[in-house]
């Protein structure tokens, strides 16, 4: 079976490529330099040449704040890019896995979001991801849309890597304490995608680490486990002052995966321990 991974140079794409490069799979990892998914003709030609049985779209424009002032790149990658892949997959009879996000919700619910809740994105980034979902659903029957939240991996930049660096550089850091979500680690998510594809049950799914916390609680746990002595101050989203609105509640309930009998992803605390161990291994 041939599997194409777009966004293969990112923190999720690299983990997905590792999970799927086993057994009888012929893996074709494509970075943004290898394939510009915003170009419909290029996408169609490349997938026609490859003839994959499965495409996993891990490509995304994730500069959430930059989207507010310059939305064009996000619409190009997150919406049009997803559509171009879906159109090519429909032409070839190929299955598509498309990655999405908690930002398709506005975060105002007082309970976790399920796959059955209506989307209501509050940011430009969220709107582009929501549009990408809709275009995939409207275009291609053979699809899995996988929403995740607070993604972290050993490859690439993320909140944890930034916090660990700041904690070593400063005596004090301020972290938002009124946003709650489910930290998810890229290697766990990649494995769960493989399990989901194996079910043949197309549709939209939430796949996140088990449990939830605030960014403040997440950072404090990371500093404690990494033995970094730094004062962590809780602040509000308003005090942080980011240009783009963030969901206050990003907790995603993995309802449909549970109904299928799929295993839950490991608790975020265990994922954090593994992440820190991976960073230590990388440092040698």
Which residues are annotated as catalytic? 125
Q: How large is the angle between the packed helices 215-226 and 268-283, nearest 10 degrees?
A: 50
98 - beta bridge partners? 57, 145
Nearest of 82, 83, 114 to residue 100 by alpha carbon:
82
| Structure token pair of residue 208 | 């996140």
**Sign of the alpha-carbon torsion through 29, 37, 65, 106:** negative
**Sign of the alpha-carbon torsion through 97, 99, 104, 105:** positive
Three-state secondary structure call for residue 262:
coil
- In sequence order, the 6+-apart residues with CB closer than 8 A to the CB of 177 are 214, 215, 216, 217, 234, 235, 236
| Structure token pair of residue 231 | 């004062």
Q: How far apart (Å, rounded) are the C-alpha atoms in residues 182 and 7?
A: 23
Q: How far apart (Å, rounded) are the C-alpha atoms in residues 53 and 1?
A: 6
**Sign of the alpha-carbon torsion through 241, 268, 184, 152:** positive
For residue 193, give Cα distances in angstroms to 80, 145, 182, 213, 282.
23, 10, 17, 23, 25
Count the Cβ atoms, other than its own, within 10 Å of residue 280. Answer: 10
Q: Mind giving me the DSSP string for 164-209?
A: HHHHHH-SEEEEE-S-EE--EEHHHHHHHHHHHHTTT--EEEE---
């Amino acid at each position: 079976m041939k599997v194409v991974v777009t966004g293969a140079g990112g923190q999720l794409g690299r983990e997905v490529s590792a999970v799927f490069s086993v057994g009888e799979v012929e893996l074709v990892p494509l970075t943004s330099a290898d394939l510009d998914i915003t170009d419909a003709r290029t996408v169609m030609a490349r997938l026609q040449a490859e003839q994959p049985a499965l495409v996993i779209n891990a490509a995304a424009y994730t500069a959430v704040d930059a989207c507010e002032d310059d939305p064009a790149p996000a619409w190009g990658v997150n919406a049009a890019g997803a559509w171009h892949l879906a159109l090519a997959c429909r032409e070839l009879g190929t299955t598509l896995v498309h990655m999405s996000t908690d930002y398709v919700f506005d975060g105002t619910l007082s309970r976790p979001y399920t796959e059955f809740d209506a989307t209501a994105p509050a940011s430009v980034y969220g709107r582009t991801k929501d549009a990408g979902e809709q275009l995939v659903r409207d275009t291609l029957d053979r699809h899995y849309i996988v929403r995740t939240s607070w993604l972290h991996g050993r490859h690439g930049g993320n909140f944890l890597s930034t916090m660990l660096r700041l904690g070593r550089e400063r005596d004090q850091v301020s972290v938002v304490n009124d946003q709650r979500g489910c930290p998810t680690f890229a290697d766990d998510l990649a494995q769960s995608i493989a399990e989901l594809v194996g079910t043949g049950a197309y549709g939209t799914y939430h796949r996140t680490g088990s449990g939830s916390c605030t960014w403040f609680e997440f950072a404090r746990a990371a500093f404690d486990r990494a033995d970094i002595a730094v004062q962590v101050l809780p602040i509000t989203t308003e005090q942080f002052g980011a240009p783009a609105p963030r969901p206050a509640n990003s907790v995603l309930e993995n309802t449909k995966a549970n109904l299928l009998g799929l295993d839950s992803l490991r608790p975020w605390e265990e994922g954090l321990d593994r992440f820190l161990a991976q960073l230590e291994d990388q440092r040698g």
